[in-house]
Chains A and B, each alone.
Chain A
C-alpha cells in the first residue's frame, strides 16, 4: 500500500518576462489501487504537473510538497524519483540515437531494480510484453524513439511501464494522436499494469475518449493551475457532454 501526496504545489517556469506561475496550489492524493483522471483545457497546467512530479529541470517548485510514502520527492534527483517508484509516460518521448531499445530497457530495468535482470527470463518478458502491445520484434534493435511513429512512441512508453513496474504511473496525454486501435492496445496495457490493485495511476488527458477504456475512480478538473472540481466517473460524463465551457467560459 503506497501513497502519493501532492500538497499545495506551486510551480513556475522561467519566461522572457520573468518567472510565470503555472501551478497555483495543487492538492491531490493517489493511493495504490486508484486510478485518477486529470482533465482540463489546454494550458491549464496538466502537463506541468506531470513533469514537475518527474523533476524536469525546466520547472521550479516554489512551494508545497510531494510525498511518496512520506518521502520528500522534491528533494530527489530525476533518476532517484524513478527508482523510488514514480513513472512518467511522456507525451513527447525524446529520440536518443545510438542507443537501442533493448539496451535501454535492460539498463533502465537494472537501474530501477538495483540489479541486472536474469537474462533468460528478461528476454522472454520483453518479448511477451512487446507481443501484447503488438510491437514488432525488430523494434528492440531500433534506436530509442528515433524515427518512431506517434503510435510507436506511445506503445513504447507503455512497454516501459509494464517492464519497469513502478508504484505510480503518471500518463501525460498518452491518448493524444492515437487511432482507435492503438488507443485500445495502449489502454489494455495500462489496465494490465493496474490490474493487481497495488498500483496508482494518474491519467492526464484532454479528452474523455480514453476513459471508455480506462475507468477512473476519481476525476479532477484542472483549470488555471489548480483543481476546480472533483468527483467520480460521472464527472467525466458531464465533461463529455458539455466540454470545459462551465470552467473557462468557451468550449475548449
Chain B
C-alpha cells in the first residue's frame, strides 16, 4: 500500500494498485493490493505469502464470503468526560481519514459491510484524566459481524484509549487511529475472547507531526486471532512505539503482523512484541515488516520479537523484515529470538527449593514484566499481570519443554 494509492482510492477510485507504480520508490517486497473493492481481493487459499501461516479452514469464511451481517454483540463505553464517543453512519467523513485502504480481503469486506462507525475523538488540547474504555462483548460466534472504529487524537491532546474484546464472535474489523500535531495517544487493544472466537483485525495508525503514539496489542483468548497493524507518518517528527503481548494455549492460533512505513524524515519507531506458548498445537506468528523509504532521512527504527515456549508441541514463527531505501538514517535494526523454558531450567530452579509451577510463573512473569511496564497504564498493567497468572494456571501440570 502506498500513500498515493490511498489518496486516489479515497477520491472514489476503485482501481487497485500493486503499489509498484508509486513514484518515490522502486517497488517494495511489502507491496500488497490496496483497494476498497472486495472484488479486487481474490479469495486467499493459504499459499499466499500473507496467509501461509494462517489455518484457513478455521477462518469461518471471513476471508471468503460469509455474510458479515450479524449483530450478536454489545458495546459498552466508559469514557473520560472530555472524550467524545459516538456511533455514526458509515458515510461519516472521519471514516477513511487515516488514509488506510484495505489491503486484504477480510479487511475490504469489513469496510464494505460495517454499517456503523464507532468514532472516538479526543478534542484538541484535552488531557484526559482516565482511560477511555470501549468493551465489545460477543454473544455468539454463529453469525459473523463487521466493525469499524475511528480514533482521532486532535492537536496536543493526551489520552489513553482501550478497546476490549471478550465473549464469542466471528469478527472482522478495521480500526483507524489518527493523531494530529503533537498529540500523545496510547491505544490498547485487548483480545480476551472465549475459546470459539475468530477475530481478523486491521489497525492503521497515522502519526502526525511530532505526535507520540503508543500502540499496544494484547492477545490471550480466541481460537484464531490475527491482528495486522500498519503505520505511517503524516509529517516529520513522529514517534511510534508498537508493543505486543500474546499468550497462546493448546490449539490457539495468534498471529501478529506489522508494517511500519517510514515515509517521512526524522521519525522514530520502536517495536517490541513478546509471546508465550504452552500446550499442544499452540501456534503464534509474528511478522514484523519495516520499510524505510528514500524520503525517510534521519529516522531510527528497531524491532524486537521474543517468544517463550513453555512446553513441547507449541510452535512460534517469527519473521522480521527490514527494507532500507536510504542510507541517511540514524539507525535501523531488528532481532528475533525464540527460547524454551526447558527441563534444565526447571531442574535448576527446583534444586533451589522452588516448586515446578512457581518456577514456571517466575520465568513467565519475568519475561513479560518489562513489556507490561512499558505500556505505562497502571489499570492495564494490573489486569495483564492477573491474566498472565490465569493463563499460567491453565498450564499448570504440563511438563516443561524437553531440551532435545
Contacts and interface: CB of A to CB of B under 8 A. Distances in A.
User: Real complex partners, A and B?
Assistant: yes
Interface of A: 54-57, 77-79, 81-83, 88, 90, 93-100, 103-104, 107-108, 111-112, 143, 145, 160, 164
B363 interface: yes
A143 B366 CA distance: 9
Given A79-B354, A96-B349, A108-B354, A103 B366 contact: yes
13 contacts: A79-B353, A82-B351, A94-B345, A94-B347, A94-B348, A97-B339, A97-B366, A98-B308, A98-B363, A104-B349, A104-B362, A111-B355, A160-B352
B360 to A, nearest CB: 11
A98 B276 CA distance: 12
A106 to B, nearest CB: 10
A157 to B, nearest CB: 10
Interface residues of B, number: 22
A54 B351 contact: yes
A96 B355 contact: no
A98 B306 CA distance: 11
Identify the interface centre among B308, B353, B356: most chain A CB within 10 Å of its CB: B353
Interface string B358-371: 10001110110100
Given A98-B308, A99-B363, A100-B366, A82 B345 contact: no
A142 B355 CA distance: 22
A79 B355 contact: yes
Given A94-B348, A96-B363, A98-B367, A108 B353 contact: yes
Interface of B, secondary structure class, is: helix
Contacts of A77: 350, 356
A49 B344 CA distance: 17
Contacts of A160: 352
B72 interface: no
Given A82-B350, A82-B352, A94 B344 contact: yes
A79 B345 contact: no
A88 B350 CA distance: 11
Contact of A111 (B339, B344, B345, B352): B352
Given A82-B353, A96-B349, A164-B353, 14 more contacts: A56-B347, A77-B350, A77-B356, A82-B352, A88-B351, A90-B348, A97-B366, A98-B308, A98-B367, A98-B369, A107-B362, A108-B349, A108-B353, A111-B358
Interface string B365-395: 0110100000000000000000000000000
